[in-house]
Amino acid sequence: MLTKELVAASTVPLVLSVLTEGENYGYALIQRVRELSGGRIEWTEGMLYPVLHWMEKEELIESEWREAETGRKRKYYRLRKEGRKALQEEKQQWMSVHETLTKLWKQQPRLT
């Protein structure tokens, strides 16, 4: 399980990355992240929505209410140009953390 801080920091890049696969709605976004992380990333589900709305306000994503195949309405989110740019920046930052940690842990193999 991730710490609260890491969950908070990784939510935006995770959402942006899942949305590169195509538009999606909140519940399915959470399922996708759970599936990909093998259950290690567990969100308090309701907490995703304020983040989504903030991202919409920042024009990283856009949304639309549509009727799903079940007949009920769902709110679908889609990536915007600004979102793609933000994802590129996020990628660089996370990769630099990842690379640095990997190098350090290779030097001290007994740490794990």
Partner 1 sequence: METTTPFDLNQAIQRWRENFAQSPALRGENLAELESHLRDSVAALEARGLSGAEAFLVASRRMGNVALLETEFGKVNRSTVWLDRALWMLIGLQVWQLIVSPVGAISKSVVALGLTGGRFDFFRHGLTIPTILFAAVHLLTVAGCLVFCWWLFVRKGQSFASRIEPFLHGWIGLVLICGALCLILLTGSVVSYGSVVLQAKFMDPRTLGEITRSQTYSNMFWWITQTGGFILLTLILARRRLRIAKA
Residue positions counted in the chain = 112
Extract the runs of DSSP E, i.e. beta strands, from 1-112: 24-25, 61-67, 73-79
Nearer to partner 1, 41 or 94 (CB): 41
Asked if 78 touches partner 1 (CB under 8 A), the answer is: no
Given strand 24-25, what is the order of strands in its sheet? 24-25, 73-79, 61-67
User: Count of residues binding partner 1 (CB under 8 A)?
Assistant: 18
Nearer to partner 1, 31 or 93 (CB): 31
Q: Which of 25, 62, 80, 90 binds partner 1 (CB under 8 A)?
A: 25
